[in-house]
Structure 1
Amino acid sequence: MRDSISVSGGRGRHRKAKQPGEGARRAVVLALAVPVASAALASPSAFAADNRGASVAGHSSPDQAAGADAGDQQMIANLEARIADPRLGSDVSGVVLDADSDATLWDHNGSTALMPASNAKLATATAALTVLGPEHRFQTKVVYGHGTLTLVGGGDRTLTGDDLAQLARTAVAGLKEAGLTTVKVAVDDSLFPEPTLADGWNEGYYPDTVAPVRALVVDGHGVMDTSLDAGQAFARQLTADGVTVDGDVTHATAGRSDVPVAHHTSAPLADIVQHMLKTSDNNIAETLLRMTALRAGRPATFEGGTEVVRHVLSHRYGISLDNFELHDGSGLSRSDRIPAATLAQILERVTEPRYAQTLEPILDGLPVAGEAGSTLGPEYGRFDDPQSQCAVGKVQAKTGTLTGAIGLSGLTRADDGEWRVFSFIENGATATPADTKDAMDGLAATVNGCWA
């Protein structure tokens, strides 16, 4: 059974198409949220069945090279030589698109599904912005009932200690006005189910690489129970403000009759996505995956979230899901597989004016070569060798690094001012990660044209 979401057809030139706006985004949300009787639709693979949009780019051909201008022909020739760099290993893929014409300029095993590492966050960000909307904000609440203040998590992974302190001050003012000086404290993180490991994760990830995914956290603390950690910080602030906390902080579910006493609203999703991409924040990615699932009427689980990601990519943007396999929101899963061609298609959509209203935060959030504080900054040793230094400030790209997998997918403007979109992924290279990244930075500099 097919759903009612319309899919943009083909990969022709469509720069002057009308922007989708809020109405189109709501259509995606509503269509995902409507219960469907068909058991087939409940399967993520079913969402790929109606993939009438784009096809994964094939291998480059002499015709493609022949149709390119002199600068592109030189780039293609250089890429053909440089993709054989032994630092990249033998299991490497790459794609370069001309975003203005939608033409595939170069393709080396682009349809091969490889472990993408954090390049998978591009898919998560696309789905979150589409379903929730760039202006969406997350709420953390405090409610009171039966002698207990309950801190209720709303999926805000950016909540700070200062935010928590303000919640406590507001709550204390209300308590004192009511003549109350002693309370119990509880935390409610029932928005998400009990944390589980994704397929392709192992317990060694916890809690440093990623924390168990819960709906409440403060200051991004990497601890096993972020909700209790936040509740304990909240209780300490209450005590500092003159209210006695009776007993230990516990898990509970807020009652329907509990009275709201304070709330905090996050920055807009656009800002959160930008931060997630700049710093490759795994915890934000996994939280956004669950919040996207909930908004679309799916369970707040890895499976529910990745189901929505697949649906949005295929049905909203016409992106191929051939050989696409996603098990989490961060790309930490060693079972994830995404072709370079698919990642390039996602980024190509970011350049289209008709999607700018929704997807521009992705472009704004991509690390810039040489940008301190981002994953392409000098502190990570990126774009600092003789071949790639010329691309500092000229390349924007999402990095990805796991043991045995390195990716770099992004955009750069060529001499003609048009966007060139690229994606490079390698798995299993035997060179040091630093050397492999240098080689990959060189490929990006080649696409820009500064390393001619």
Structure 2
Amino acid sequence: MLISSSALRPSGRHRKTRPVPAPLRRAAVLAVAVPVAGTILAAPSAFAADKVVSKTAATVLDPAEQQIADNLNTRSQDTRLGSTLSGVVIDAASDKQVWGHDATTALMPASNTKLGTATAALTVLGPDHRFTTKAVYGDGTLTLVGGGDRTLTTEDLTEMAKTAVAGLKNAGLTSVQVHVDDSLFPEPTLATGWNDGYYPDSIAPVRALVVDGDHVTDTALDAGQVFAKALTDQGVTVTGDVTHGVVGTGDVPVAVHQSDPLSTIVKQMLKVSDNDIAETLLRMTALGAGRSATFEDGTAVVREVLGRYGISLDNYEIHDGSGLSRANRIPAQTIADILDLAADPRHAQTLKYIIDGLPVAGEAGSTLGPEWGRFDTADSQCAVGKVKAKTGTLTGAIALSGLTKAQDGQWKIFSFIENNSTAAPADIKDALDGLAATVNGCWA
């Protein structure tokens, strides 16, 4: 039985102290959350720990953990994984390392990069933050203004058009020009480690205005054209072509749409590994921290946030928010530490949505669903519904990082990053799924 989308609510952990980030632009208060019952497997409690584990005790593996370590020592040598693997397993309650293999070696992490992006966005903007799209009127022109909502739909624009048309008609106006203003972000550029081949399939040029997730060169004009059609359908004549423009100082708002809360958007981004949402969030996070909406400033804010949480940035190099950059390098240890942070009940108010958004093994519609051939081999089928993990896939790089409850009843956080294997990608993913099942203990 698959775990629910609201799955993990850690409780009862005693952990080492981490510094809490100082306010960036807003007053981000990372309060201690009241533990909430509920786990991946609907068990009574998660991350239960009755006492602080001493430094000496933390180095001792229980029999189930020793079995994990022994099995991973063998299974990490799987020829499908090649010779370049960074991996680690830690106990969530005590933070002791259960197993490691080149855990601090920085490799290309692919979409595991999104975990840092999500952490920064939730911290700087807050989980309740919403992105606003506006329509403003001035001097015969209706301007659609992008506010960084990568989830805007045709239905949303249609509702905005209805509201705008009602106001226009009340003012006796029956025709307008339509402009789009996406000046919140600078003109799109390629990140370090990107190439033109990413457009339009892997990602669209990053703009502040887009509708239906369309992958076109100018998503702002595309959205403006959808908006213009909706205005026409409501009986207002649109004159001329939709063009770029900038809102005038005297323009009057006539319609507004607000997105779902950031918490929901983060979960969507992680569940399906949406590159476009990730890059938009990177820019909005930079703006929220008082910086410019660029790759450089966005990634700088991610580093600042992680560093203030106490995450080691040794060998940590990122150039985008999605993980498409082939120049990104992150160790498995750092990925595991980010997940450990997100699962910490003290930060639940802000970061629990990262854990909630992780795909579940066997969950249709996620990147770990059967449609992607995940957790469907003899080695890994036993872990269906028992593992939550973020996937990552680029040519030459495949990653899987998440958490599961092991045979000792304790939650384990794992990260496996593989680079440069010559095996078929599907075979590499099967091997990584087997490693996750090994941590769970069902493939013993």
Question: TM-score, normalized by length of structure 2?
Answer: 0.89
Q: Is the Cα contact below 8 Å between 1:187 and 1:250 reproduced in 2?
A: yes
Structure 1 equivalent of residue 177 of structure 2: 184
Q: Does 1:27 pair with 2:19?
A: no
Q: Is the Cα contact below 8 Å between 2:58 and 2:94 reproduced in 1?
A: no
Q: Distance in 2 between matches of 1:16 and 1:254?
A: 50
Structure 1 equivalent of residue 72 of structure 2: 79
Q: Distance in 2 between matches of 1:99 and 1:124?
A: 22
Change (3 A) 1:181 1:225: same
Q: Is the Cα contact below 8 Å between 2:21 and 2:305 reproduced in 1?
A: no
Letter in 1 for 2:23: A
User: Where do 1:94-113 residues align within 5 Å?
Assistant: 94-113=87-106
RMSD of aligned alpha carbons: 1.8
Q: Is the Cα contact below 8 Å between 1:399 and 1:409 reproduced in 2?
A: yes
Residues 357-406 of structure 1: CA deviation (Å, up to 9, x unaligned): 11010010000000000000000000000000000000000000000000
Residue of structure 1 aligned with 2:397, choices 395, 399, 405: 405
Q: Is the Cα contact below 8 Å between 1:278 and 1:365 reproduced in 2?
A: yes
Change (3 A) 1:30 1:163: closer
Q: Distance in 1 between matches of 2:358 and 2:344?
A: 16
Letter in 1 for 2:218: D
SS at match of 1:446: helix
Structure 2 equivalent of residue 252 of structure 1: 245
Q: Distance in 2 between matches of 1:389 and 1:65?
A: 31
Q: Distance in 2 between matches of 1:238 and 1:29?
A: 37
SS at match of 1:101: coil
Letter in 1 for 2:179: A
Residue of structure 2 aligned with 1:228, choices 207, 210, 221: 221
Residue of structure 2 aligned with 1:144, choices 137, 145, 156: 137
Structure 2 equivalent of residue 298 of structure 1: 291
Structure 1 equivalent of residue 384 of structure 2: 392
Structure 1 equivalent of residue 270 of structure 2: 277
Structure 2 regions of 5+ residues with no counterpart? 1-12, 29-55
SS at match of 1:163: helix
Structure 1 equivalent of residue 236 of structure 2: 243
Residue of structure 2 aligned with 1:311, choices 289, 304, 308: 304
Q: Does 1:438 pair with 2:434?
A: no
Q: Is the Cα contact below 8 Å between 1:118 and 1:331 reproduced in 2?
A: yes
Q: Distance in 1 between matches of 2:202 and 2:275?
A: 7
Structure 1 equivalent of residue 41 of structure 2: none
Q: Distance in 2 between matches of 1:74 and 1:124?
A: 34
Letter in 2 for 1:29: R
Q: Distance in 2 between matches of 1:227 and 1:351?
A: 37
Q: CA deviation at 1:418?
A: 2.2
Letter in 2 for 1:224: T
User: Where do 1:296-445 residues align within 5 Å?
Assistant: 296-315=289-308, 317-445=309-437
The structure with the greater share of residues assigned to helix is 1
Q: Is the Cα contact below 8 Å between 1:290 and 1:305 reproduced in 2?
A: yes
Q: CA deviation at 1:413?
A: 1.1
Structure 2 equivalent of residue 286 of structure 1: 279
Letter in 1 for 2:352: E
Q: Is the Cα contact below 8 Å between 1:15 and 1:354 reproduced in 2?
A: no
Q: Does 1:67 pair with 2:63?
A: no
Q: Is the Cα contact below 8 Å between 2:342 and 2:352 reproduced in 1?
A: yes
Residues 266-316 of structure 1: CA deviation (Å, up to 9, x unaligned): 00000000000000000000000000000001110000100000000011x
Q: Is the Cα contact below 8 Å between 1:90 and 1:429 reproduced in 2?
A: yes
User: Where do 1:101-180 residues align within 5 Å?
Assistant: 101-180=94-173
Q: Is the Cα contact below 8 Å between 1:87 and 1:431 reproduced in 2?
A: yes
Q: Is the Cα contact below 8 Å between 1:289 and 1:306 reproduced in 2?
A: yes
Q: Is the Cα contact below 8 Å between 1:26 and 1:131 reproduced in 2?
A: no
Q: CA deviation at 1:350?
A: 1.4
Structure 1 regions of 5+ residues with no counterpart? 1-12, 33-62
Q: Is the Cα contact below 8 Å between 1:116 and 1:338 reproduced in 2?
A: yes
Q: Does 1:193 pair with 2:186?
A: yes
Letter in 1 for 2:84: D
Q: Distance in 1 between matches of 2:234 and 2:173?
A: 13
Q: Is the Cα contact below 8 Å between 1:89 and 1:429 reproduced in 2?
A: yes
Q: Is the Cα contact below 8 Å between 1:290 and 1:300 reproduced in 2?
A: yes
Q: Distance in 2 between matches of 1:170 and 1:31?
A: 34
SS at match of 1:397: strand
Structure 1 equivalent of residue 209 of structure 2: 216
Q: Is the Cα contact below 8 Å between 1:319 and 1:346 reproduced in 2?
A: yes
Q: Distance in 2 between matches of 1:162 and 1:379?
A: 28
Q: CA deviation at 1:219?
A: 0.5
Aligned length: 405
Q: CA deviation at 1:16?
A: 9.7
Residues 123-182 of structure 1: CA deviation (Å, up to 9, x unaligned): 000000000000000000000001000000000000011000000010000111100011
Q: Distance in 2 between matches of 1:448 and 1:193?
A: 45
Q: Distance in 2 between matches of 1:444 and 1:16?
A: 25
Structure 2 equivalent of residue 90 of structure 1: 83
Q: CA deviation at 1:28?
A: 3.3
Q: Distance in 2 between matches of 1:237 and 1:387?
A: 52
Change (3 A) 1:320 1:25: closer
Q: Distance in 1 between matches of 2:128 and 2:27?
A: 20
SS at match of 2:226: helix
Q: Is the Cα contact below 8 Å between 2:362 and 2:375 reproduced in 1?
A: yes
Q: Distance in 2 between matches of 1:115 and 1:429?
A: 12
